[in-house]
Structure 1
Amino acid sequence: MTRRQFVTGLPLAAFLPVLPVSAAAAGPRLAVLDWGLAETVLALQLTPLAVAEAPLYRRRVVTPELPPEVVDLGLRTWPNLERLRALSPDLIVSLAGYGVPTARLKSIAPTLPLEIYSQQRAPYRLADAALQAIADRTGRQAQAAAFRQRLSETLERARQRLAGYDGRPVLIFKFSDARHVDVYGDGSLFDAVLQHLGLANAWTEETNIWGFGMAGLDAVARVPDARLVVIAPGPPDSLKTSALWRSLPPVREGRVVQIPPTWVFGALPSAMRFAEQISRVLQPGASS
């Protein structure tokens, strides 16, 4: 499921049985409808009671790890409201302006709608504000401060690894299919991390509210001096052996690196993961 897809109706999950609620860790019982906010809750050392599309979180967000006992609420765009009501959470944490209207969620349980990606195009700052808002609501201010310290230390280690980087701008993208990519630029979480690390973003073209532009592989050809950073999974095998892919200057000259799956619509934990991953693959001496 991507942000560009529109889903209507309820999935088959609507007919799944309601699971017991005792599996959640001690503390406020939170139902979280967005993965960036779910990773933020986990960063505060809280185990959510339930998360939308929990199985996919484990494959696409990866860390912080989502414990197996967390209940799956169905689609992020339209979770299983019957299950949500039956779970009776203490608080629903939702992404403002996305999915189920806040007024409808509030009829089920107290709801905290938060922004990360918005017209402000400042996801890093808004993710930090979301961290604080959840911490204040759940009494986890000390955990928020501790996480910020870990983030600061991670960014500093990443900067040190990149001290000898050659200065090439980086083009960050993931494949949407064999011939098209989502390229991350202004307004993306990744662009904010690049700024923290002192790296130049090669993508200066228009981006959407989520901070990426959708383009064909010709977009890569337009930045021949860039180093390519591909978010896994990488190019399909059929493309890797094609003349089109091999003719691209960064590919031909061996300026392509790949990082493990990292959530492209994440919050501060995803920013920390991205900083760690990109600094390792770009540090002098790392193999491409």
Structure 2
Amino acid sequence: MATILVPVNAAATPAVSRIAVLDWGWAESLLALGVQPTAVAEAPLYGDRVVVPALSSETIDLGLRSWPNMELLRSLKPDLILAQAGYGVSQARLNEIAPTLALPLYSAERMPLVAAEAALKEIAARTGREEAAIDYLQRAHARLETIAAKAKAYDGRPLLIIKFTDDRLIDIYGEGGLFDDVLKRLGIVNAWDGATNNWGFATAGLDAIARYPEARLIIIEPGPPGRFLQSTLWQSLPAVRKGHVATIPPTWVFGAFPSAMRFAEVIREGIGIA
């Protein structure tokens, strides 16, 4: 996999030093700017779901992203709180603790990659990391262009991107999601043409996979429990019978710009783009 994009001036001191983050997308964005947050909601799970860029082992866990430990948050006396607009605790209530930047990511506009870039720039402006943001985004866009150029050699088979919720239900990622935005940038077709919610996915049964027999199936780890992938039901699906299945490492489906870059890299490897 390509080297993770990290700003060359990551060691510089940010304009604000104690930052509490209630959304993993903003945590990874802050890390991409070379700033380690003081506290992050559900910090122990971040490494499993988001993976990179990595949080410091000293990061304080603030509890649930949807409902953090408000007493702990207040006791930390942060200089800044980063939250996702329209999710979890209201900005008005968070402002009672510390100045809060609540930014949109997944919304009715359904353009998360554009929103993620705008948010990264806004976080950079608020933390005095504008040059780091310019550096990061320049290299990120150049990398996306490189992968897109190499993707022209791909066989053109549409991708059906799924994540198991159990051994019978899957989330399928399509229009309005971060991964769909990345596929568009890479010139790769997303097979899913069904309806999706504001987060860019639909929940369906395995019969949905069977409706796309020519697609290449992309499974986001972790896969289903037990030996389900060896079951007769799974093996009967057209894409499975034809060997058109690839598994990619955990990648945060509701992430921001760094998650978009991770997805571009893991999908490149998953479908064999050199």
Both proteins in one fold, TM over 0.5 = yes
Matches within 5 A, 1:192-271: 192-271=181-260
SS at the partner of 2:227? helix
CA gap 1:170/1:65 in 2 versus in 1, 3 angstroms? same
SS at the partner of 1:46? coil
Residue 137 (structure 1) aligns with: 126
Matches within 5 A, 1:54-73: 54-73=43-62
Deviation by residue 1:175-231 (Cα, 9 ceiling, x = unmatched):
000011000000000000000000000000000110000000000001010000110
Task: Return the offset for 1:26.
Answer: 4.4
SS at the partner of 1:191? helix
1:33 aligns with 2:22: yes
Aligned partner (choices 26, 33, 43) of residue 32 of structure 2: 43
Residue 123 (structure 1) aligns with: 112
Structure 2 gap segments, 5+ residues each? 1-11
1:175 aligns with 2:155: no
Rounded to whole Å, the distance in 1 between the matches of 2:55 and 2:187 is: 31
Residue 191 (structure 1) aligns with: 180
Matches within 5 A, 1:52-131: 52-131=41-120
Rounded to whole Å, the distance in 1 between the matches of 2:83 and 2:224 is: 33
Deviation by residue 1:86-124 (Cα, 9 ceiling, x = unmatched):
100000010111101111100000000100000000100
Rounded to whole Å, the distance in 2 between the matches of 1:56 and 1:161 is: 33
Rounded to whole Å, the distance in 1 between the matches of 2:26 and 2:125 is: 14
Query: Which amino acid in structure 2 is aligned with residue 36 of structure 1?
Result: G
User: Is the CA contact 1:162–1:283 (under 8 Å) kept in the aligned structure 2?
Assistant: no
User: Is the CA contact 2:165–2:224 (under 8 Å) kept in the aligned structure 1?
Assistant: no
CA gap 1:273/1:284 in 2 versus in 1, 3 angstroms? closer
CA gap 1:284/1:154 in 2 versus in 1, 3 angstroms? closer
Rounded to whole Å, the distance in 1 between the matches of 2:273 and 2:96 is: 54
Q: Percent identity over the alignment?
A: 58
Structure 1 gap segments, 5+ residues each? 1-24
Rounded to whole Å, the distance in 1 between the matches of 2:31 and 2:172 is: 28
CA gap 1:236/1:50 in 2 versus in 1, 3 angstroms? same
Residue 6 (structure 2) aligns with: none
Query: Which amino acid in structure 1 is aligned with residue 271 of structure 2?
Result: L
Matched residue pairs, number? 261
Task: Return the offset for 1:234.
Answer: 2.0
Task: Return the offset for 1:284.
Answer: 5.3
Residue 21 (structure 1) aligns with: none
CA gap 1:86/1:128 in 2 versus in 1, 3 angstroms? same
Give TM-score scaled by structure 1 length.
0.88
Residue 16 (structure 1) aligns with: none
Residue 281 (structure 1) aligns with: 270
1:161 aligns with 2:178: no
SS at the partner of 1:275? helix
Query: Which amino acid in structure 2 is aligned with residue 187 of structure 1?
Result: G
Give TM-score scaled by structure 2 length.
0.93
Task: Return the offset for 1:167.
Answer: 0.4
Rounded to whole Å, the distance in 2 between the matches of 1:138 and 1:233 is: 35
Task: Return the offset for 1:281.
Answer: 1.6
Task: Return the offset for 1:282.
Answer: 1.1
User: Is the CA contact 1:159–1:279 (under 8 Å) kept in the aligned structure 2?
Assistant: no
Rounded to whole Å, the distance in 2 between the matches of 1:163 and 1:209 is: 30
RMSD: 1.3
Task: Return the offset for 1:236.
Answer: 3.1
User: Is the CA contact 1:162–1:282 (under 8 Å) kept in the aligned structure 2?
Assistant: no
Query: Which amino acid in structure 2 is aligned with residue 41 of structure 1?
Result: L
Residue 149 (structure 1) aligns with: 138
